[in-house]
Chain A
Amino acid sequence: MKTIEVENVSRIFRISSEKEILALDDVSLHVKEGEVFGLLGPNGAGKTTLIKILATLLLPSKGRAFVAGHDVVKEPAKVRRVINLVSGGETPGYGSITTRENLWFFSQLYGLPKGESMKRIAKLSEDFALQEYLNTRTHKLSTGYRQRLNLARGLINDPKVLFLDEPTLGLDVITAKRIREIVRNRVKNGSGNSILITTHYMVEADQICDRIAIIDRGRIIALGTPAELKKMVSKQTIVSIETQPIDGGMDFISSIAGVNGYSQTDEPSIGRIKLKVVLNEEGALQNVIQAVSARGRIFEITKSEPTLEDVYIALVGKGFE
């Protein structure tokens, strides 16, 4: 059963009388019950715009979208009864009241009776390790704990459909891992819950998503399970090259015959650049090595297994910027 359906949705933002931005361009997808569906793409790709349309915060310029069978434009009240939204990096709530009082307040937005509300607060505070801060005013909490509170808030109404917009943004490794576990646990054992998550962390998407849509400049350029997506580059060769910084940048790599695309990670602390190059044919590797070594020293070359990042590079020709 489909809990989210998006049919040919486009969204245009009018910046001025002469300038418009096409944030979503004819997007269609669906999310099944019990599924964690990932929207993967760089900043400005349109991920948040789509989530805001589905969460009834924004109207589409074109197309239709349904959540739990309800039209997000025509029946927003019905949609709101079954959803919640968590935007990562946000720390909403009121600093002058305690963690418990904040969670209680947010539970009231969904009409939870006191007993039920307290039960959920106890459970969520355990899940997010907030117990010892329940009676602390939230302006005294660290940013990480306020983000945990925000995530707990997003689950206070036990939503059938949860929208997570970059939920682990800025979180420490342990908390991020815990959140991924909670996300996975919400959909398992036939709970009927679904989660739509946006992220630009490839590993995160790979770990927790059942299916992923890769989105770039408002368009879905690939959609499938992580394994299916990686299969798209299984015939291609992926090599990692560590080199010294090269004057004039690395754009020359794109023009080498047989190169599909590349991404670059700067490592200034060790004075190196890590390149990931996707090759259409293994024979092109020799050309890449020659071109790079002519410009700077190569420290290491390794062949790697395909990742979602490689899929993105193969499709777009470059990594996330």
Chain B
Amino acid sequence: MSSLHEFQVNVRVAIARARVRIKGTIQDPAWMIAEMIIPMFSIGGFILLYRALGAPASYSGFVIVGGAMIAFWTNMLWGMAAQFYWEKEVGNLEIYFVAPISRMAILLGMALGSVVTMVLRVFGIVFFGILLFNVSLNIADPIALAIIFALTLASLYSLGMVFSSLYLLWGREAWKLNELLVEPTYFLSGFFFQIRGNAAVPLALQFASSFIPMTFGLDGLRKVLVLGQGLQSVLLEVSVLAAFSLALFVAAHYVLAYMENLAKKEGRLTLRWQ
């Protein structure tokens, strides 16, 4: 099999896996409603609080952006990183690992499928945010918005690929890692308030938040989506997110191969009980 053919097969696998995920989601519309409506409660709470405190109007927009992007973070953790565990439980993991394909193609397919459905959720949250809380957005540079959004997702799902390798080895035990990463990341990334450059946040915390791609994604999105800034003002975020994406994608390739080998050695790849 030539490298080109191998590449083509892997692209088809990614598309096929994405298609399965999208179809599955579309056939369950109740899930979409729950995904759009329920987050509005926490988003609404923060908006009302900021308004009561007399915070600038842009803060409401910040909350909407954060609330929408939470979807991607939780989806990356539970819908992608943990996916190998679920696939193992239903017997699909063996099939993937017996097939002559890249594991990255499967994960990429899951990510692509998730992005499509999550984008619907984001539009829903933004729509309801505008409708219910009269939040105004200010987009001056749509290209900058597209770049920041794409890089945020690329870095996020590359991180998900790295995490997914842990599920190959640890199975359900890796859940604890997910649980550990939910609330602290909500806090450190500043989903509902800005972290970097915020005088109220200690410098050590600001430094710690720099290791999470989402922090830069949120900062960049807030600048181009709420504050009406252009590409020039988000060059730092673009650079950092591009570096995160590349480094994490390459790392995922090697970490997955290493973990797969370790799992085969220890016999953990196909055992269900773990």
CB-nearest residue of chain B to A53? B264
The answer to whether residues A96 and B23 also contact, given A52-B270, A58-B267, A111-B5 and a CB cut-off of 8 A, is yes
The answer to whether residues A58 and B1 also contact, given A87-B94, A97-B24, A109-B99 and a CB cut-off of 8 A, is no
Alpha-carbon separation in the docked complex, A73 to B1 (Å): 19
The interface-forming segment of A76-84, A213-221, A230-238, A271-279 is A76-84
Alpha-carbon separation in the docked complex, A108 to B1 (Å): 15
CB-nearest residue of chain A to B15? A108
Alpha-carbon separation in the docked complex, A101 to B15 (Å): 13
Q: Which residues of A contact B92 (CB under 8 A)?
A: 92-94
The answer, yes or no, to whether A127 is at the interface (CB within 8 Å) is no
The 0/1 profile, CB within 8 Å of A marked 1, for residues 109-136 of chain B is 0000000000000000000000000000
A111 touches B12 (CB 8 A): yes
Number of A-B contacts (CB under 8 A): 85
Alpha-carbon separation in the docked complex, A254 to B165 (Å): 51
The answer, yes or no, to whether A153 is at the interface (CB within 8 Å) is yes
In which size bucket is the chain B interface? 20 to 34
B264 touches A57 (CB 8 A): yes
**Interface residues in B234-265 (C-beta closer than 8 Å to A):** 261, 264-265
B13 touches A92 (CB 8 A): no
Q: Which residues of B contact A299 (CB under 8 A)?
A: none
Alpha-carbon separation in the docked complex, A128 to B246 (Å): 46
Q: Which residues of B contact A55 (CB under 8 A)?
A: 94, 98
Q: Which of B1, B9, B98 contacts A56 (CB 8 A)?
A: B98
**Interface residues in B54-84 (C-beta closer than 8 Å to A):** none
Q: Which residues of B contact A104 (CB under 8 A)?
A: 16
A84 touches B98 (CB 8 A): yes
Q: Which residues of A contact B23 (CB under 8 A)?
A: 96-97, 101
Q: Which residues of A contact B91 (CB under 8 A)?
A: 87, 90-92, 150
The answer, yes or no, to whether A19 is at the interface (CB within 8 Å) is no
B97 touches A57 (CB 8 A): yes
Known pairs A56-B97, A85-B94, A87-B94; list 6 more (Cβ under 8 Å): A57-B270, A58-B264, A59-B264, A59-B265, A105-B16, A150-B91
- List 9 contacting pairs A-B, 8 Å CB cutoff, sorted by A: A14-B266, A56-B264, A57-B269, A58-B270, A80-B100, A83-B98, A91-B91, A96-B28, A108-B12
- Chain A residues with a Cβ under 8 A of chain B: 11, 13-14, 52, 55-59, 77, 80-81, 83-85, 87, 90-94, 96-97, 101, 104-106, 108-111, 137, 150, 153
- Chain B residues with a Cβ under 8 A of chain A: 1, 5, 8-9, 12-13, 15-17, 19-20, 23-24, 27-28, 90-92, 94-101, 261, 264-267, 269-270
